[in-house]
Structure 1
């Protein structure tokens, strides 16, 4: 059995800080390609784009004149002889046309209101694009962490299998107790339980990623390659400045403010009348040689009397409230951006330090502790519980290391969505 003990020692001495058990036959997923697929296929993003196009088409409608009105009529006809147009000199066949003209400046302002509303939806499309990128990246790195956890569990199951062999060997020669065997078997079952849960979580995350990409939930999501984290090179103030300049939702609120301002000017114009210009041509039949029945015309202008001032004052108040609402929503968003940047930068710094601590300190120390505990257990210097505790410690640190790696990238994706552009 000495060869078995030597094999166990060699196995632990070769434990690396970042173990790799990638299945090379399985293709690696490419994050930029996944993001582009989502942007090309996602139906919610397409719906947002269609909504923007819909409001764009309202601009021309708002700036256009109303259709002219064509009028055909018989005027002053004789009831007793309705189709005899030559019986009375006042009977006329009339054709007329009229056109509504809004007060000067109203059409331009209506077009500006529609244009600013369309612009707000245009920035909403970009905002939805940012959110979609963030969700794809978060799902991607969550799957990465699940895969790494599964690899760590598989490695630990193999380690526990060696523990079981070691405990059984010591028990068979009278140097151990049967309870050690039972403890190791129980720990192996616990690892299998964790594996079942993680496999279910991966299936759920894969289905969620496929939904974002608008593809079948059964499409297999491949392995995700390892990566290195890069510390941020921008300060919080630089990120805030970038966010205020680039965040689409802020630009959307700005467009809504400008829409409200144009609406306010339009409401002021409503205190002035609109005009309707009408022209009519009246044809009369000749009655006799004495009554020639000369043709006639009429030209007139009508306009409304804007005396319902309560309605117009309410329209002014509505536009003022719209401006205030959009302004305060923009201020609230800026406040959230400022806090979010500070919070995310603190979390990123925490994760970066943890990654460095795990990589250069805790993981190698835990691996050495496990190796030492294995050697000591073989020569009966420590009990089996100490050996299991050393393995659990290394197991937890390895998972926390990859959790920090994945969480760093997810927080970075959230920061990019908050700022409005990629910052790495």
Structure 2
């Protein structure tokens, strides 16, 4: 019966989560990088380490810093232009001054263009920063999901060891009763078969432990077989706020929506800038030309303008407006999709809460009571060995299902945190009231 639990659990989901971030080149980690000194690995410690070591975040931070640097560039004036020329044949000519010309000019855009370019660059920088937060959320969910698997495999190993010890005790009792002529040899053989199956389960679980270890070390940028301490208990969780509150909060805090809002603002600035391009820019110039005979004519100042051609500027405005409309529609669509994702993630957490409570408060106590009754009947000669073995299997299944429920609850809560835009939407609330 409990084989279904392992077959369901051995799924490629967590491996695909790591592949989503890319199998970066893993450098050889030091023998002692802090983990070897820790008795247990906690979920918070793992998340911090993953966020600190993942190369995607520094790369995105560098891109954000580059976007910030473009703000000043976008709003700055063009560099002044300076030119110099001379008449070679006047050099050294008798009775003639050396002929030369020096000019300097400065391009000045129509008022408001510089501010609009700077604002557009600033909003693009904000969008790049929100991209960092999106990556952090995805990495946090992947780390918490991997920690949940690390917890479950150790819990399954522990449950397997407890039940193997219990079956060995059953086998010894059956052998004693068989020697005394109060039981058949078949009882001892059944117990021996069950013990052998659990010993094989140890091998399967150890292989699965190494697989999860490789996933964790990939997230941590370590060698895949580098040792990690056993997991602590899954962290306590809090009471979920109402789903309507989460749907309201997600519109304010979700980094993807904030990034789209920033890009929308940048696009509005581009539309306004395209409208300003119908107005000319100016060029102020000053020139000294010694080729003029009279001193009063040698120094000149002037102003020039470009003549905007309406055709290309109208096309540029149409392009900017189309981009703005597309971004607005994309943001509206993502708002609806994310609110739907929040509802689905919320319902999954509620379901896992119910399953956890069911196994913890009802099914596990019933399985323990059933085994105790079957064992008492067998020892008193009122029951058969097969009933006791069946009760033990039911207990093991309930124990594994309880650990699986705890694991699923932790993983689904991590998915909900990522969906609503971070744990801040779930903080400041009471505990679940469910014992871990």
The TM-score with structure 2 as length reference comes to 0.80
Residue number among 53, 78, 86 corresponding to 1:41 in the alignment: 53
- Which structure's CA Rg is the greater one? 1
Determine helix, strand or coil for the equivalent of 1:104: coil
Separation of aligned partners in 2, 1:85 and 1:114? 55
2:26 aligns to what? none
Are the structure 2 counterparts of residues 278 and 251 from structure 1 closer, same or farther at C-alpha, using a change threshold of 3 Å? same
1:185 aligns to what? 192
2:208 aligns to what? 201
Matched, 1:102 2:109: yes
Q: Which 5+ residue runs of structure 2 have no aligned equivalent?
A: 1-36, 428-436
Separation of aligned partners in 2, 1:49 and 1:194? 46
Cα-to-partner distance string for 1:222-248 (whole Å, 9 max, x where unaligned): 233335755624111111111112112
2:64 aligns to what? 52
Matched, 1:257 2:264: yes
Cα-to-partner distance string for 1:149-177 (whole Å, 9 max, x where unaligned): 11001111112222332333344445544
What's the Cα RMSD here? 2.8
Is residue 229–residue 409 contact of structure 1 (8 Å, CA) maintained in 2?
no
Is residue 345–residue 419 contact of structure 2 (8 Å, CA) maintained in 1?
no
1:370 aligns to what? 371
Separation of aligned partners in 1, 2:125 and 2:379? 75
Are the structure 2 counterparts of residues 268 and 228 from structure 1 closer, same or farther at C-alpha, using a change threshold of 3 Å? closer
Report the CA distance between 1:403 and its aligned residue.
1.1
Taking the TM superposition and a 5 Å limit, the aligned residue runs for 1:355-394 are 355-378=356-379, 381-394=382-395
Are the structure 2 counterparts of residues 292 and 118 from structure 1 closer, same or farther at C-alpha, using a change threshold of 3 Å? closer
Matched, 1:74 2:75: no
Determine helix, strand or coil for the equivalent of 2:207: helix
Are the structure 2 counterparts of residues 193 and 380 from structure 1 closer, same or farther at C-alpha, using a change threshold of 3 Å? same
Taking the TM superposition and a 5 Å limit, the aligned residue runs for 1:24-423 are 27-75=39-87, 81=89, 83-84=91-92, 92-226=99-233, 230=237, 232-284=239-291, 296-307=298-309, 309=311, 311-378=312-379, 381-422=382-423, 423=426
Report the CA distance between 1:86 and its aligned residue.
5.5
Are the structure 2 counterparts of residues 170 and 50 from structure 1 closer, same or farther at C-alpha, using a change threshold of 3 Å? same
Separation of aligned partners in 2, 1:377 and 1:129? 56
Separation of aligned partners in 2, 1:217 and 1:270? 57
Taking the TM superposition and a 5 Å limit, the aligned residue runs for 1:12-23 are none
Are the structure 2 counterparts of residues 185 and 85 from structure 1 closer, same or farther at C-alpha, using a change threshold of 3 Å? farther
Is residue 90–residue 96 contact of structure 2 (8 Å, CA) maintained in 1?
no
Are the structure 2 counterparts of residues 184 and 308 from structure 1 closer, same or farther at C-alpha, using a change threshold of 3 Å? farther
Are the structure 2 counterparts of residues 213 and 85 from structure 1 closer, same or farther at C-alpha, using a change threshold of 3 Å? farther
Separation of aligned partners in 1, 2:329 and 2:219? 32
Report the CA distance between 1:88 and its aligned residue.
7.0
